[in-house]
A and B are shown apart, each in its own frame.
Chain A
Amino acid sequence: MKSKKEFDYFDRPEVRRKLWILLWLVCGLTIIPDLFTHRHPHFGFDGFIGFYALFGFVTCAVLILLAKLIGRVLKVREDYYDK
């Protein structure tokens, strides 16, 4: 890189904002095909529109909160075993 200006594309605030918009957009786009395709639910309860989107959202939120909660008990200082 030397004298050239450093490549810092992803540090720019306007790029970050664009990426956020892109993420929301893609999330919305993935649900649209559900409106038009004929889906084959595996077990009956998984047939409604956007099932996997909801499933992914709820699951990940719960996993993160669960990890946070468990972390309160299990997280210890790095030198825990050295003492």
Chain B
Amino acid sequence: MINDFPPAAILILGALLVPFFKGRAKSWYVILLPAAAFYLISKLDPGSSWQIHFFGFDLTLLRVDKLSKVFGYIFTLNAAAAFVYAFYLKDNTQHMAALFYIGSALGVVFAGDLVTLYFFWEIMAIASTFLILARKTDKALRAGTRYVMVHIFGGLCLLAGIVIYISQTGSVGFEAMTQRTPATWLILIGILINAAAPPMSAWLSDAYPEATVTGGVILSAYTTKTSVYALIRGFAGWEILIVIGCIMTLYGIIYALLENDMRRILAYSIINQVGFMVTGVGIGTAMALNGAAAHAFCHIIYKSLLWMSAGSVLYMTGKSKCTELGGLYKTMPWTLVFGTIGALAISSFPGTSGFTSKSLIIDGAVHSHLVWVWIVLEIASAGVFLHAGIKFPYFVFFAKDNGLRPGESHKSMLAAMGFLAFLCIFLGIYPKPLYAILPFAVDYQAYTLNHVVAQMQLLMLSALVFFLFLPLLKRTDTISLDTDWFYRRGAHGFYGIIDKGLNGINNFCDKVFAGDLSAGIGRFFKKGPARIVMGVVIPVRAILGDDRKTRDTLKTRITAAFETDAYPVGISAIAATLFIVILFLFY
């Protein structure tokens, strides 16, 4: 039984019991759930099970292979660490939303068909929104609303694609998409929106930094990486992904360099890192796909770690802008140390997990002789060190001392960070366990002298440039316009156009139909009968010899008769009755 039970069910059903636990028991309970799911995943046998017949579809709730397992491992591992971090938190809403969110992410990676995938995909979107709304600020409320709108749109693209795909191929199975039809393109767009690919990328940097302290940690891992999983499964080797991935890496760097909010810097660097993975999927060779999966694995760890350290700072100081932070190394040394390990890992510093995973993707590009792709990825690698590797720790923990003396955060927060920092270094020094669980067999050695020297040159000179150009990087109290402008400001313009357009038509119609026309008709029916009668009666009376004065008196009488409705109705009624009698007599 245990080797074919859907791990998603543990978290989703487990979430329902959260309110029944109190105090520390609640904290332990939510840590235990993903730990149990992790154990379960390690026991899963490859193959498909839980096949059910539903609305005429043969659904597969559990499809186990190496690809789904590697994502399953990291999703549950990270969840356990995140709940250790959140040990202080006793908020049922956040815990339940997080469990539903993580559980449905597991549902997606173990789904064997498109219908199941879509079902969990939508639960993810809705559950994750509550992690933003739970911040309970006005900004979070608005950002959360925009977030869910974008995801509903993405979900609709996905749904449309799936419906067309099923009707065309007759198959619900989620396998590699070989045909390039409108259906598969729509599915791809739906997935890419969740991967935060430009132009639909701004939702991430808009919403995640408004989430709660632990919400940000949890959000950073699942939505985008579930997309990476879906891309590896369905769209390996689609060349367009190379272009999109390369754009994402550079876009993330530029915006992160411009950004002032520390959690928004980290949000942009998610887009940059996912860009590496998307590029790997586009290259599509076994090595590059391994790289995408390995990088997703390591990225989730060090990105969570970075969000945790930023979260601790936010939790202790209540501030997240670089302009208001600085000098925190004096009172938060452990947070600094763990945050810096995460920062080094994201920069793929030799000895950290980023180095052993990202190299697979970059070497994948080299082996496929994609010179431009290789150049862009190397540029992006250098840029990562600038914006996430140095900028984040420097402006938060060093730079200008703003007089903040918060002290260290909760011990549980430090414990979670310590655990993830350990994993960053462990997988950096000894990547074998990770390589062993990748979808394809790995024969790769990251640590060659040339490779280490090249990476050190790249990173150290990046560091040098950072400090030489420091005056140019001075933080300002600003935000940067992104594609969300089109629905935040553009929406105002749209509103204006609709306001002027539709209300203009409305006003025109009101004037013409409600005003002029009905008044005219009213006048016609008020004065018309009198005029008709006069038009007939007066000329006849004139011919009969009435003088002008008599005619005028008559006119006044007729008008008065119609205006007061004093014309002899009874006579008309009798006339009409007589007419009907005559009619029936003859027919």
Q: List A39-83 residues whose CB lies under 8 Å from chain B.
A: 39-40, 42-43, 50-57, 59-61, 63-68, 70-71, 73-78, 80-81
Contacts of A73 in B (CB 8 A): 481
Supply 16 A–B pairs (Cβ within 8 Å), ascending by A.
A10-B398, A30-B457, A37-B453, A43-B371, A54-B461, A55-B378, A57-B464, A60-B469, A63-B379, A63-B382, A63-B383, A64-B472, A67-B253, A68-B472, A70-B254, A76-B480
Contact of A76 among B327, B385, B466, B481 (CB under 8 A): B481
Give residues of chain A (9-24) contacting chain B, Cβ–Cβ below 8 Å. 10-11, 20, 23-24
Given contacts A52-B455, A67-B257, A81-B489, contact A40 B450 (CB under 8 A): yes
CB nearest to A25 among chain B residues: B460
| Interface residues on chain A, size class | 35 or more
In the complex, A27 Cα to B480 Cα: how many Å? 33
CA distance A42 to B448 in the complex (A): 14
**Contact A59/B330 with A39-B450, A52-B454 known, Cβ cut-off 8 Å:** no
Which residue on A lies nearest to B401, using beta carbons? A11
CA distance A56 to B580 in the complex (A): 104
**Which of chain B's residues has its CB closest to A44's CB?**
B371
Chain A CB within 10 A, most for which of B374, B455, B481: B481
Does B561 sit within 8 A of A, measured CB to CB? no
Q: Of B374, B463, B482, which is within 8 A of A23 by CB?
A: B463
Residues of B within 8 A of A (CB): 253-254, 257-258, 327, 329-331, 333, 366, 371, 374, 378-379, 382-383, 385-386, 398, 401, 405, 449-450, 453-467, 469, 472-473, 476-482, 488-489
- Whether B460 lies near A74 (C-beta < 8 A) is no
Instruction: Give the chain B neighbours of A81 by CB distance below 8 A.
Output: 488-489
CB A54 to nearest CB in B, in angstroms, measures: 8
Tell me the dominant secondary structure on chain A's binding face. Answer: helix
Judge whether A27 and B461 touch: CB under 8 Å. Answer: yes
Residues of A contacting B469 with CB < 8 Å?
60-61, 64
Report the Cα distance A74→B38, complex, angstroms.
44
In the complex, residue of chain B having the shortest beta-carbon distance to the beta carbon of A40: B450
Contact of B460 among A27, A37, A43, A51 (CB under 8 A): A27
Roughly how many angstroms separate A64 CA and B130 CA in the complex, as a whole number?
A: 36
Expressed in whole angstroms, the minimum distance between the Cβ of B266 and any Cβ of chain A is 17
Checking A53, A74, A77 against B457 with a beta-carbon cut-off of 8 angstroms, the contacting residue is A53
Whether A60 lies near B466 (C-beta < 8 A) is yes
Given the complex, which residues of B lie within 8 Å of A57, measured CB to CB?
461-462, 464-465
Given A27-B460, A53-B460, A77-B477, output 7 extra A-B contacts at Cβ < 8 Å.
Answer: A30-B460, A30-B461, A52-B453, A56-B462, A60-B469, A66-B254, A75-B479
Cβ–Cβ contact A24 & B464, under 8 A: yes
B46–chain A nearest beta-carbon distance, Å = 36
- In the complex formed, the residue of A with least CB distance to B488 is A81
CB distance from B372 to the nearest CB of A (A): 10
Residue pair A70, B453 in contact (C-beta under 8 Å): no
Contact of B254 among A50, A59, A63 (CB under 8 A): A63
Q: Are A64 and B465 in contact (CB under 8 A)?
A: yes
